[in-house]
Amino acid sequence: MTMTTMGPDAARDPNAATRRLQRQDRVFFWLAWGSATLVVVVLLGILFSLVWESIPAVRTFGLSFLWTERWSPAKEIFGALAPIYGTIVTSVIAMVIAIPLSFGIAIFLTEICPKPLRRPIGTAIELLAGIPSIIYGLWGFFVLAPLMQQFVQPFLIDVLGPLPIVGALFSGAPYGIGMLTAGLVLAIMILPFITSVTRDVFQTVPVMLRESAYGMGMTTWEVMRHIVIPYTRLGLVGGVMLGLGRALGETMAVTFVIGNAHRVKASLMAPGTTISASIANEFAEASGKLYSASLVELGLILFVISFTVLALAKWLIGRTESY
């Protein structure tokens, strides 16, 4: 019995056919295994190279890198506070605007929307997700920013600026671009992601529960408030986190409209920067070991933040599904 029992022999020998299938299966098994392992290897490889490349910066600045505001390539002093702050503030603005909007859209689509309109509106929102981020950037820069400078920001500065505490957020000159504009563009970008997850989890609510609630005479608002939202709570948080993960890492669109200034300012109108925008702006021309290492360390920080947010999102979504 040798390997020559292929072809017509195999038909005569059922054992050979079985062995051939077994061999096939083993190859398939290892290919699948290999593909899966490759992803993990790539992930670890990226993490390792980020750590490795950022060693000079970590050695020089230590942990104080995280709370130093100065970013001076000329004097070789680097701190990540401004980009971390900008990343978080723009993402928070985006979430504050996008969460209520997305929930509204999802509730409308699942509960209120007339059947014939459901698909066109749903598709329009999904199409938003397909627009490349550079287009959002161009639109933000050429259309939204001038509108912000001439109308929205002067209004906010005049009306909210004089108020105590809140006023600090809306003070300064209207530049048009800045953290508020970046947050707005981000909100539009993450809207479709949160909406589609929210809509999907709303649909997991058993029809029986929902119908009995309506049957008891509950209004749509009461059904949402007391049945649907409590039932899908964790899934909703997961969807929100997914949107947050995207907002944190968005690069091109933000680079266009944030103003790219390494400063921490209380005012939302002020120009700032984010981690990804700093890297995109500066990496190509970063001369000197410490400068590139600091940019890579920024990348490492973003990796850790996004990874944590996404892991948390997955975990929460997973928990709703097991209900």
Partner 1 sequence: MSFIKTIVAGTAAAAFTLGMAATAQADISGAGSSFIYPVFAKWGEAYNKATGVKLNYQSIGSGGGIKQVTAKTVTFGASDKPLDDATLAKQGMTQFPMISGGIVMMYNIDGVKPGQLVLDGKTVEKIYMGDITKWNDPAIKALNKDVTLPNEPIVVVHRSDGSGTTFNFTNYLSKISKDWDDQVGSDTAVEWPTGLGAKGSEGVANMVKQTKGAIGYNEYAYVIQNKLGYSKMINKDGKVVSPSLETFASAAANADWKGAKNFHVIITDQPGEKSWPIAASTWVIIHKDPKDPKAAAAALKFFDWAYKNGKPEAKALDYVAIPDNVVKLIEASWSDIKADGKPVYAGN
CB under 8 A: which stretch of 92-100, 110-118, 125-133, 174-182 binds partner 1?
Answer: 174-182
As a whole number of angstroms, the distance between CA 166 and CA 323 comes to 42
Kindly state the smallest distance separating residue 286's Cβ from partner 1, in Å. 6
Torsion of CA 232, 234, 239, 241, to 10 degrees: 160
133 binds partner 1 (CB under 8 A): no
Could you say which of 5, 19, 73, 218 contacts partner 1 (CB under 8 A)? 73
Of 108, 139, 175, 214, the residue at the interface with partner 1 (CB under 8 A) is: 175
Contact flags string 284-313 toward partner 1, x per CB under 8 A: xxxx--------------------------
Residue 146 interacts with partner 1 (CB under 8 A): yes or no = yes
> Does residue 276 touch partner 1 according to CB under 8 A?
no
Question: What is the nearest approach in angstroms of partner 1 to the Cβ of residue 150?
Answer: 8
Residue 205 DSSP label? S
Tell me the CB-side half-sphere exposure of residue 22, using CA atoms within 13 A. 6
Rounded Cα distance, 54 and 172, in Å: 36
Give 37 or 72: the residue with its C-beta nearer to partner 1. 72
Distance CA(314)–CA(323), nearest Å, equals 15
Q: Which amino acid is at 262?
A: H
Q: Per-residue contact track with partner 1, 231 to 260, x per CB under 8 A?
A: ------------------------x---xx
Residue 264 found at the interface with partner 1 (CB under 8 A): no
Cβ within 8 Å of residue 128, ≥6 positions away = 188, 189, 191, 192
DSSP reduced 3-state for 270: coil
| Phi–psi pair at 71, nearest 5 degrees | -140, 90
Residues that bind partner 1 (CB under 8 A): 70-75, 77, 141-142, 145-146, 149-150, 173-178, 255, 259-262, 271, 273, 281-282, 284-287
